[in-house]
A and B are shown apart, each in its own frame.
Chain A
Amino acid sequence: MIVDAAELRRRTAELLAAHPPAETGRQAFLEARFDAGLAWVHYPEGLGGLGAPRTLQAVVDAELEAASAPDNDPRRIGIGLGMAAPTILAYGTEEQKRRFLRPLWTGEEVWCQLFSEPGAGSDLAALGTRAVRQDDGDWVVDGQKVWTSSAHLARWAILIARTDPDVPKHAGITYFVCDMTDPGVEVRPLRQITGEAEFNEVFLTGVRIPDSRRLGEVGDGWRVAQTTLMNERVSIGGMRLPREGGMIGPVARTWRERPELRTPDLHQRLVGLWVEAEVARLTAERLRQQLAAGQPGYEGSGMKLAFARLNQEISGLEVELRGEEGLLYDDWTMRRPELVDFTGRDAGYRYLRSKGNSIEGGTSEVLLNIVAERVLGLPAEPRTDKDVAWKDLAR
């Protein structure tokens, strides 16, 4: 049958009748929602969805919000929802999909991503964490990963590791699901310039991974990882913001509330940035409309670039605007926050945190290369490592 908006409303009403949010525990309600196919309606039946168009999710969300139903706190489990789930859906076995997707979606199990390494940042495919096959077919993993958000909270990780050092770098990688409770997994907080530790270093020492937790074929991990990374960019591009919804909001409010801070120079710069922020918001909105209409949106590759620069310039202006207060910082205490809030805390924090926006999830320099090559069709960077076995690369 075709699942349309009316059918989704009917099923949502049924869910709410059978499991009234006020009388149902949060976890129980989320599980019932998943089992009703209303978690992510574009997923297949039996895996939290109904095979409906993705755009109809908003219908379900609006009904549930109106009924004050609990949600799965998507910001807390963003890596699971945005990166692990689409990859498991695309490459997982039936058994893997059944085992992982339900607790991933309900938030019962948090996921993290073990991709970057100290020696493999922009050149991710050069990664050196080794996975060695054992006689029984299982794998033993040794190596070090870095910039891992949520590693200290995570039950599972998506992991890419080198399974064949004798072939060129892209060809010798395999994709796994790693159990973060394995005794060989050690998570250490990595303190940042903000004073906090959102990220971790993860040391993997003799970590045993059964072959049943491999995603995709042996040696095909780079292709599998593209699904993960593509979905990361789509989720960055799909944002919907109200006017002044981003980093410009706090500084505009400060400007209005604190006339004593105003100078002509700051005014010129603030209004210029306000305009840029508004145009960036319209650009993100246009991209969202394109995706909803099923049109390809190359613009997605560019949005992260634009927001990174704007966030940095706007928060930098705000520190300066605050004058004497700009000399202060709210708190350097080392913490391990569960959530990252780019626009939270005070101006100094926002200024320092936004420095990461042009590094995390692909540096702005790499993204400019991607735009130049894939969108504009300009010649690719010279690739001296393409036909060289990974073990023979200079490092």
Chain B
Amino acid sequence: MSPQPDLLYSEEEEALRAAVRDLLTDHCGPADVLARVESDAPHDLSLWKSLADGMGLAGLLVPEELGGHGATHREAAVVLEELGRAVAPVPYLASAVVATEALLESGDAELLGRLASGRAIGVLAVGLHLAPGADFPVVDVEDGLLSGELTAVADAAAADVLLVPARDGDLYAVAAADAVVTPQTSLDLTRPVATVTLTGAPARRLGPAAPAVRRALRAGAGLLASEQLGLAERTLTDTVGYLKERRQFNRPVGGFQALKHRLAQLWLDVVHLRAAARGAADALATGADAELAVAVAQSFAAPVAVRTAEEALQLHGGLGMTWEHPVHLYLKRAKADSIAYGTAGAHRDAVAALVDLQAP
């Protein structure tokens, strides 16, 4: 039998979780998030500063000699669990994971250092829906200047630097100030997407685009499972708590067996999601079987996160339909996450190819 992945959390990882949760409890409650997404600046950049600058979490995946913390995907996954629990509107996955992985592949030390320190927010300018290995759109390049339009780019509105694949097969860095970023009205208010329009924008060539994009999207897909885990766990916990309090027919609603069984089933799903998400994080950290571990986790995670959020809404009754109650923030994030970095179906196709279960 091949060696088993380490699926537990170390003491250091639990300490990291506690620190992030404390910060989010104080600064990223449901009312804060709702107020933030209704404002003109949906990203919470002061929270981002605390996470990136204050706690040094933007550089977890970057080696120390490049200005990072030399940690692994296991620690980044724990941060993402907590950010998912809070549906925090910060560009952590986009900048500290996806853009960072692209730069690790293309080997740009200067830009990596800026992202790792949190001084700059980087965004890989491809649609959030792209699966690892999928074809990605490119912009035109002429005399080193980029022109073209890219859509559904997550967190682009918060970016300082855009990483843009061009028609010549290379990846370029473009200052956000040299691009026009137009927010799109997004289903997920906490991770809004935007179009990026380039008109003869100056750019710096980084290296071949395809391997950088593939690596970036694989890490994004793999660690997204941890965000989905945090989201599902929080949603379930809140729903269980509510159903213990809410009384109808002179008893707590949570005492009705039809609801108990649904909640127990969701708990079981979340337990499974934890194993899948830890499996993917550990595989990305060690490199062992990472492609399959990520595809398995993403085949499994989205349906669980969406189902948990949908059940949470239903079990909150009319309250769940109100704008005021935060359950919709979780539902919208869960549904958008089910498309992000490839749908479950796209990842199942990847699993089938990897384990030799060929289509007819």
Name A residues whose Cβ lies closer than 8 Å to a Cβ of B: 240, 242-243, 252, 255-256, 259, 262-264, 267-268, 270-272, 274-276, 278-280, 282-283, 285-286, 289-290, 293, 295, 299, 302, 305-306, 365, 368-369, 371-373, 375-381
Contacts and interface: CB of A to CB of B under 8 A. Distances in A.
Interface string B325-359: 00000000000000000000000110110011111
Interface in B230-283: 240, 243-244, 251-252, 254-255, 257, 260-261, 263-265, 267-268, 271-276, 278-279
A88 B243 CA distance: 42
A264 B360 contact: yes
Interface stretch (B3-11, B160-168, B186-194): B3-11
Contact of A376 (B8, B267, B358): B267
B172 interface: no
B300 A368 contact: no
Contact of B357 (A242, A274, A299): A274
Nearest to A266: B360
A289 B6 CA distance: 8
Contact of B260 (A282, A285, A295, A372): A372
B272 A378 contact: no
Nearest to A380: B255
Contacts of B254: 378-379
Interface in B265-320: 265, 267-268, 271-276, 278-279, 296, 299-300
Contacts of B273: 279
Contacts of B299: 271-272, 275
A264 to B, nearest CB: 6
B118 to A, nearest CB: 32
B258 to A, nearest CB: 11
A302 B275 CA distance: 13
B41 interface: no
Interface of B: 1-2, 4-8, 240, 243-244, 251-252, 254-255, 257, 260-261, 263-265, 267-268, 271-276, 278-279, 296, 299-300, 348-349, 351-352, 355-360
Nearest to B274: A286
B348 A280 contact: no
A278 B296 contact: yes
Given A275-B296, A372-B263, A264 B251 contact: no
A128 to B, nearest CB: 26
Contacts of B255: 378-381
A262 B7 CA distance: 35
Contact of B279 (A267, A282, A365, A377): A282
Contacts of A242: 1-2
B271 A299 contact: yes
A216 B228 CA distance: 48
A368 B352 CA distance: 32
Given A264-B359, A369-B260, A378-B260, A285 B4 contact: yes
A197 to B, nearest CB: 32
Nearest to A265: B360
Contacts of A264: 359-360
Contacts of A379: 244, 251-252, 254-255
Nearest to A293: B8
Contact of B278 (A263, A271, A272, A286): A286
A256 B357 contact: yes
12 contacts: A256-B358, A264-B359, A283-B275, A302-B268, A306-B268, A369-B257, A369-B261, A376-B240, A376-B267, A378-B260, A378-B263, A381-B255
Q: Which 10 A-B pairs have the closest CB atoms?
A: A379-B255, A372-B260, A262-B360, A286-B7, A371-B264, A282-B275, A283-B275, A368-B264, A275-B299, A372-B264
Given A368-B260, A378-B240, A256 B278 contact: no
B197 to A, nearest CB: 39
A369 B254 CA distance: 12
Contact of A259 (B4, B261, B360): B360
B248 to A, nearest CB: 13
Nearest to A285: B4
A246 to B, nearest CB: 14
Contacts of B243: 378
Contacts of B6: 289
Given A375-B267, A378-B254, A271 B352 contact: yes
Contact of A290 (B8, B265, B351): B8
Contacts of B251: 379
Nearest to B239: A376
Given A282-B279, A371-B268, 9 more contacts: A262-B360, A279-B300, A283-B271, A306-B272, A372-B261, A378-B243, A378-B252, A378-B254, A378-B255
Nearest to A283: B275
Contact of A275 (B2, B8, B265, B348): B348
Contacts of A375: 264, 267
A305 B268 contact: yes
Contacts of A285: 4-5, 7, 275
Contacts of B276: 279, 282-283
Contacts of B267: 302, 371, 375-376
A11 to B, nearest CB: 27
Contacts of A376: 240, 260, 263-264, 267
A293 to B, nearest CB: 6
A122 B1 CA distance: 38
Contacts of A270: 357
Contacts of B271: 283, 299, 302
B261 A283 contact: no
A271 B357 CA distance: 7
Nearest to B268: A302
B241 to A, nearest CB: 9
A122 to B, nearest CB: 13
A375 B271 CA distance: 12
B306 to A, nearest CB: 15
